[in-house]
Amino acid sequence: MLWAAGARARVLRARPPSRALWWGVIAGAVGAMCFVGWQRIVLAMERPGGMINAITFGDIALTMGMVALAATIDFRREGKSVLWPLLGGLAGILALVMTGTRGGWIALALAALLCMRLAHLGSSRNVRLLIGAGVALAAVLYFVPATEVQLRVQQGIDDVRRWESGEYKFTNMGIRLELWKGAGMLIAQHPWVGQDPAVAHEQVVRWVKDGTLSDVALAPQHLHNDVLQALASGGVFGLLALVGILAAPFAFFARQAKLAALRGAPPNAPALAGMLVALGYFAFGLTEMMFWSGKACIFYALMIFILMGLSLNQKEEFGN
């Protein structure tokens, strides 16, 4: 983490052009799409995920795609074709679809809401165009059977109904709902400081034995929710730490974007990208433990600190 934090200082000192990162995330998103596409189509893997967990891979690929979409601001300002960052955004979304990850769609919805909220800070025409294209793409992906997006959504709805009826709980959503039920009970016992994971697991075992919880709650190593995990293991203080990790960078980038608009400078693309990264990780964490994965943690830290440096460089460049 300290090494990642040093990335900001190096960016401020070396002052690399933002396009270095933009081309990097475009290439990363396209590469991710090709890799999982090969695994899905050629190797016939049902849930491809590169060399890591399918959910984590899909979420990181989508994050690169969202950052690529933010880059359209700089590409357009510099008079370059926006087709490349749009390709990166499309590739990130397609990589998400091919991994079969559903939680990323929450991030896309929140990203659309954020862009609508920020439309007044820059070119509202460009923002409306991006949002319209995103909505159209989402509709196409949902209604085209080959993408299986509609199937995955329906499976999730069916899983919830079966869990509520008690019919069958050993499903992706059923396991999560049972875990979250147990998490609520653990949090109620020690809301301020949480519990040691080993002690919490022993308590879950007792609840399974007395029939309070289903045995599906025993298999996962974590609670598949960053907020609940923070509360269960660290209490209110753990939650505050998580909020700081996500909200502090978001607030920093929001301030940079607002300052650029107030002073009549070009929209701060790195600031928008930073907000999308923080918002995306919050959304991913609603159904998955993003900060459980070391790779996901490193990616988040590096992206946040690099984008901080780039946004500050742009602020100085345009005198805002």
- Going by C-beta distance under 8 Å and a sequence separation of 6 or more, which residues neighbour residue 289? 222, 223, 224, 225, 226, 229
Neighbours of 53 (CB within 10 A): 18
C-alpha span between 260 and 17 (Å, rounded) = 18
DSSP state of 277: H
Residue 217 · residue 208 · CB < 8 Å: yes
pLDDT tens for each residue of 231-275: 999 999 999 999 999 999 999 999 999 998 888 778 899 999 999
SS3 assignment, position 248: helix
* pLDDT for the residue numbered 123: 53
How many Cα neighbours within 13 Å face the side chain of 110? 17
Residue type, 206: R
Measured in degrees and rounded to the nearest 5, phi and psi for residue 293 equal -90, 125
C-alpha span between 13 and 268 (Å, rounded) = 19
Residue 279 has which token pair? Answer: 């918002």
How many Cα neighbours within 13 Å face the side chain of 1? 4
* pLDDT for the residue numbered 121: 55
Residue 68 has which token pair? Answer: 């690529």
Residue 191 has which token pair? Answer: 């809301």
pLDDT tens for each residue of 37-86: 999 999 999 899 988 999 999 999 999 999 999 999 899 888 899 999 99
pLDDT tens digits in sequence order for the chain, 320 residues long: 667 778 899 999 999 999 999 999 999 999 999 999 999 999 999 899 988 999 999 999 999 999 999 999 899 888 899 999 999 999 999 999 999 888 899 999 999 889 888 766 555 565 666 666 677 777 777 777 767 788 888 888 898 888 888 777 788 898 999 999 999 999 999 999 999 999 999 999 999 999 999 999 898 888 999 999 999 999 999 999 999 999 999 999 999 999 988 887 788 999 999 999 999 999 999 999 999 989 999 999 999 999 999 999 998 887 65
Q: What is the pTM of this model?
A: 0.93
C-alpha span between 37 and 105 (Å, rounded) = 19
